[in-house]
Structure 1
């Protein structure tokens, strides 16, 4: 009786150990390791830096372009606005009197802008359009007096819409000019856009390197009201790019705050 009991116990122990060994393999078959996860369920990670700008078709903002010199004082693409002012001592070294009709003899521009203005005025004349420069380069002090007079007349808030504070005027670069017809029709007025001269400039100025700097409906972007008489020289190549983009200078060069 005792012998049978030992055999029985031994058999039961062997059976129990064998059963435990089989159960130890169960986790490997019921729960596959991560490396065995079906490939289609793994989502690849792509960082923005790895995405070429040319592959982004959702918008034009990411398209790579060569940006010209917007900060050097001698650059014809120097940007001046309310956020990017000039110092009070700055004056271009190459100011000359343009060989075109002038509202006053003191009008000057930088040499390259003056030469381009001459070419543009001659082209306009061939089309029966007679142009005149009303204002060109302005010094820091001149702009200061002008701005203060406007503030005294209309208040600072209103003056800031149409007049630049000293240092913030494009006229100080010697690359900007206020234009009109030789008859001064609608000079410095919104109605200039409907004159033959205003229409011709809007359609043709870019061909000679000049851009309508403060377009209609863009005051919140440029900081100034529509000025159909104010043209800024950027050079032919850059002016064409800006004109064809349909954007303001601030938008084109991504200079918005």
Structure 2
């Protein structure tokens, strides 16, 4: 009888723990879903498109590309601090309009087919670049531009170690394709703010996981 009561108690405690955790996860997911598109942590992925008429209102020049003002300021500081350590980070791509994204995705589709294109490039309306919070970076000499070997170059190594200090994440990390829907992109940085970036890097999860959102491997 004592053993039975003990077993029942363990089961009851496990159920209570599950029930108490469930609302917290649900609350996080609801908060992420209800965030306005101008939120620094607004998630845009293959299941969460931007509104058809969305255009960020605070785009500024960030030294060769456009970004939203807070992200631009952080990017400029990051590039300057890297240069002070003799590491040069070159701008590749920042904000893109929906029309620009449509042209880019069409070129990838023509080159790689629909499935290949969708693993490398977002369809128009589904790209983080349309938020003004994403930036693709490279090396001034073009070494490993938009290739996974970028992570072994000076700019790639420095960004992986330091970008979060400026509020940027490597948005599509290696091994997370089943969650983000995209191949590993060590050059693609997403601004979420320094506090959030630090938490995500420390926890070692994707932005979707951090905010309690479901995986988005496909459209």
* Coarse TM-score class (shorter-chain normalised): 0.7 to 0.9
1:237 aligns with 2:201: no
**8 A contact 1:88–1:141 mirrored in 2:** no
Distance 1:181 1:173, change over 3 A: same
Larger radius of gyration: 1
Which residue does the alignment assign to 2:80? Answer: 122
| Partner Cα separation in structure 2 for residue 62 and residue 127 of structure 1 | 46
What RMSD over aligned residues (CA atoms) do the two structures have, in Å? Answer: 2.7
Which residue does the alignment assign to 2:102? Answer: 144
| Partner Cα separation in structure 2 for residue 62 and residue 114 of structure 1 | 36
User: Which of 163, 187, 192 does residue 205 from structure 1 map onto?
Assistant: 163
Q: CA deviation at 1:221?
A: 1.2
Aligned residues: 209
SS where residue 155 of structure 1 aligns?
helix
Structure whose residues are more often helix by fraction: 2
Distance 1:64 1:87, change over 3 A: closer
Highest relative contact order (Cα 8 Å, sep 6+), 1 or 2? Answer: 2
1:190-235 deviation line (CA, Å, top 9, x unaligned): 1111101100000110011000001112111110001110000000
Which residue does the alignment assign to 2:119? Answer: 161
Unaligned runs of 5+ in 2: none
**8 A contact 1:109–1:174 mirrored in 2:** yes
**8 A contact 2:44–2:127 mirrored in 1:** yes
User: Which of 32, 57, 60 does residue 96 from structure 1 map onto?
Assistant: 60
Which residue does the alignment assign to 1:28? Answer: none
SS where residue 160 of structure 1 aligns?
helix
What are the residue-to-residue correspondences of 1:16-95 with 2, within 5 Å? 43=8, 46=12, 50-51=16-17, 67=28, 71-95=35-59
Q: CA deviation at 1:253?
A: 1.9
1:92-129 deviation line (CA, Å, top 9, x unaligned): 0000001x3x3xxxx20000000001111111111111
Q: Which consecutive segments of 4 or more residues in structure 1 shift more than 4 A?
A: 38-45, 47-50, 61-70
What are the residue-to-residue correspondences of 1:169-208 with 2, within 5 Å? 169-208=127-166
| Partner Cα separation in structure 1 for residue 69 and residue 86 of structure 2 | 26
1:247 aligns with 2:212: no
SS where residue 135 of structure 2 aligns?
strand
